[in-house]
Structure 1
């Protein structure tokens, strides 16, 4: 949502400098323990769309021409000819999911040492996703709405804070309830801030195709981080997170999707923001590893540059690469998913395949006056199998996936 205090750094020892007053320069965790002196109301409008032009067969093996399957051929493998033919309206023009998501956020300090905040989001999702790999012939059109509400209350002390929160989201086939708690503690000179957080999410799954009924999922997450102001120009942050998911983790809308009922994941993120004199360099590296066998790397760079008096431009570039899950099934000679006989685990979900991705973005922030802030962000995403790191690639490639998303926001302090 909105970095509620990113223009007011509070007490930070000897480094309360103008260089840090540029939007996005000071890492948000470093000021999370500061009592907000003003409230804020913010509106955000987010839009996302993706497309994936698909040839007759959406999986290509290097060095071999694919065969094309008819709707009747595929129906013999997965159930219904109607479900495969595309007659349901999914189409094969490459258009996939569209998401429109308006949200409202409110922060209100009270009692001198307390603050309450909350948000409401309504996601409208339409389009279709493939049953396997990137093949859209088995996809069905969907039109769904998700309502999400979250709330948090925080207590502040001179050098520490404690927050507890809850969140709930509902859609026609999925209900999720979450609880969280976070505490921060800063050093005497205010140049180092430690944060510790815990979260618990409980989900109930009832897919429209009734492949499963009233399945459950529970996820426990832990996070430990430190933010260190090294100099008047440099801010570092290290976050370590671990999650433990148990329950139904398969995708009921994917073909023959059977995943483990447990998933453990660990994440490490390093951020470094440096003031260059006339702009701020924002950089980060993220490493992810889980019990599915997936290992991923994310590198991101951004440059926040003031333009004119109240305008800040931040171009950014992000690279992502992952290997495939241990139970991700490659295609057979016919290009159709080919799991081993009676497999216990199998998935042809392209999100579990090996791929690389690039995201280029531009964010514009306009500080209209002391009370009003307007921002706009546009990002273009492209995902390709051969963009994965050489050590993470496989012997076949999926069709390219393109996505574009934009976000408009307006906020007012009070």
Structure 2
């Protein structure tokens, strides 16, 4: 089985990734004049040498409607079908645990527009056989008179319940609070820059019950800084660049840089190639693949079963680098509909870490995904 930290993604983020089209602006200060309906299908498959790992199929739907000249109501739903296998520790193929399960998730958000300001409230729910999550959020924004400067604030809380089928734990809880502050600045007719800072405070169960030797601290604080620059080019083309810095109390430090180039083509097509590069350090309690003289793999030397210290053999807590290549095609097909298809290829290797040598002994990790769908506005 995949653990609760391996297969979870924020509901809104998942749906926006599946349904977003070039030109949609979630931070707009004016109430949209049109309604939007989006339907999509996401397929994901990851693998390592000699092991096809997790496969996910996710149909989703999204609806956004302006009401009464001042309100925007948004909602979405997604159904994930996950199957496959994940290593119990590091990237060892032997003993990989199997899974086949479904997740149902949905969210709703209501935003009130006040000319130069907005207030929003949202709620999200996610259910599956071993994991349940409830989340609530509030946000506000304020723009200058000329609308060239926009400040935003956000606050969210989530409560998760973890009850794995192997019954290693039953009814474990995790509570998370998140605070975000951001500012967006128009620099001219062609350029917009934005900076967002997010702080997250989590308390509760963070271990992966399906991994061997996985005992993580019950407190996790994170900080993330996201910088974005959007630049309009000639012929309706656009360049979007971003940089993200992340750190947490587990000891992980991560950097990500990326960009996408959006360009219209003949026949009403829009093409968007993208590239993202990523690097992270290992968690303080991550241990490399080793063999204990007494217990054998995967226990680190001197592991104390009676009083285990924080430790993990989860490759996602290791030091590594990664690259993601993507290509998206979209086309207006009439009747207010725009269809799109997007493919991405991800590769993760220890040797690709930007500084240092990365964690040794890990197998290469690859993932492929494609999304297909359509969006209608009216």
TM-score between the two structures when normalised by the length of structure 2: 0.90
Write out the 4+ residue segments of structure 1 that deviate beyond 3 Å after TM superposition.
333-337
How far did residue 254 of structure 1 move?
0.4
Of residues 33, 37, 40 in structure 1, which corresponds to 2:33?
A: 37
How far did residue 36 of structure 1 move?
1.5
Whether the 8 Å CA contact 2:113–2:119 is kept in 1: the answer is yes
How far did residue 2 of structure 1 move?
5.0
- 1:243 paired with 2:200, answer yes
Q: Indicate the residue corresponding to 2:269 in structure 1.
A: 311
How far did residue 374 of structure 1 move?
1.0
Deviation string, structure 1 residues 179-229 (Cα, Å, up to 9, x no partner):
001111111001111111111000001000000011000010111111111
Structure of higher RCO (CA pairs closer than 8 Å, 6+ residues apart): 1
Q: Indicate the residue corresponding to 2:351 in structure 1.
A: 386
Q: Structure 1 301/397 Cα, relative in aligned 2: closer, same or farther at 3 Å?
A: farther
Whether the 8 Å CA contact 1:323–1:392 is kept in 2: the answer is no
Q: Indicate the residue corresponding to 1:136 in structure 2.
A: 93
SS at 2:169 equivalent: coil
Q: Indicate the residue corresponding to 1:48 in structure 2.
A: 44
Q: Could you tell me how far apart the structure 1 residues matched to 2:303 and 2:209 are?
A: 21
- 1:299 paired with 2:299, answer no
Ranges in structure 1 where 5+ consecutive residues have no aligned partner? 8-22, 54-92
Q: Could you tell me how far apart the structure 1 residues matched to 2:137 and 2:251 are?
A: 28
SS at 1:391 equivalent: coil
How far did residue 368 of structure 1 move?
2.6
Q: Indicate the residue corresponding to 1:409 in structure 2.
A: 373
- 1:341 paired with 2:318, answer no
Q: Could you tell me how far apart the structure 2 residues matched to 1:107 and 1:320 are?
A: 33
Q: Could you tell me how far apart the structure 2 residues matched to 1:385 and 1:293 are?
A: 17
Of residues 303, 324, 333 in structure 2, which corresponds to 1:359?
A: 324
Q: Could you tell me how far apart the structure 1 residues matched to 2:112 and 2:321 are?
A: 42
Q: Could you tell me how far apart the structure 1 residues matched to 2:207 and 2:155 are?
A: 25
Please state which structure has a larger fraction of its residues in strand: 2
Q: Could you tell me how far apart the structure 1 residues matched to 2:267 and 2:113 are?
A: 33
How far did residue 276 of structure 1 move?
2.3
How far did residue 392 of structure 1 move?
6.3
Deviation string, structure 1 residues 99-134 (Cα, Å, up to 9, x no partner):
000001111111111121100100000001111001
Whether the 8 Å CA contact 1:100–1:125 is kept in 2: the answer is yes
- 1:165 paired with 2:122, answer yes
Q: Structure 1 220/159 Cα, relative in aligned 2: closer, same or farther at 3 Å?
A: same
Q: Could you tell me how far apart the structure 1 residues matched to 2:281 and 2:347 are?
A: 17
- 1:326 paired with 2:284, answer yes
Pairwise mapping of residues 183-198 of structure 1 onto structure 2 (< 5 A)? Answer: 183-198=140-155
How far did residue 341 of structure 1 move?
3.3
Q: Could you tell me how far apart the structure 2 residues matched to 1:240 and 1:366 are?
A: 34
Whether the 8 Å CA contact 1:241–1:266 is kept in 2: the answer is yes
How far did residue 386 of structure 1 move?
0.2
Whether the 8 Å CA contact 2:340–2:373 is kept in 1: the answer is yes
Q: Structure 1 239/340 Cα, relative in aligned 2: closer, same or farther at 3 Å?
A: farther
Q: Could you tell me how far apart the structure 2 residues matched to 1:328 and 1:234 are?
A: 42
The total of aligned residue pairs comes to 356
How far did residue 263 of structure 1 move?
0.2
Whether the 8 Å CA contact 1:29–1:195 is kept in 2: the answer is no
TM-score between the two structures when normalised by the length of structure 1: 0.83
Q: Could you tell me how far apart the structure 2 residues matched to 1:6 and 1:388 are?
A: 30
Q: Structure 1 152/30 Cα, relative in aligned 2: closer, same or farther at 3 Å?
A: closer
Ranges in structure 2 where 5+ consecutive residues have no aligned partner? 1-14
SS at 2:87 equivalent: coil
Q: Could you tell me how far apart the structure 2 residues matched to 1:200 and 1:337 are?
A: 36
Q: Could you tell me how far apart the structure 2 residues matched to 1:404 and 1:190 are?
A: 40
Q: Could you tell me how far apart the structure 2 residues matched to 1:245 and 1:101 are?
A: 27
Q: Indicate the residue corresponding to 2:242 in structure 1.
A: 284
Two-structure CA RMSD over aligned residues (Å): 1.9
* Higher gyration radius (CA): 1
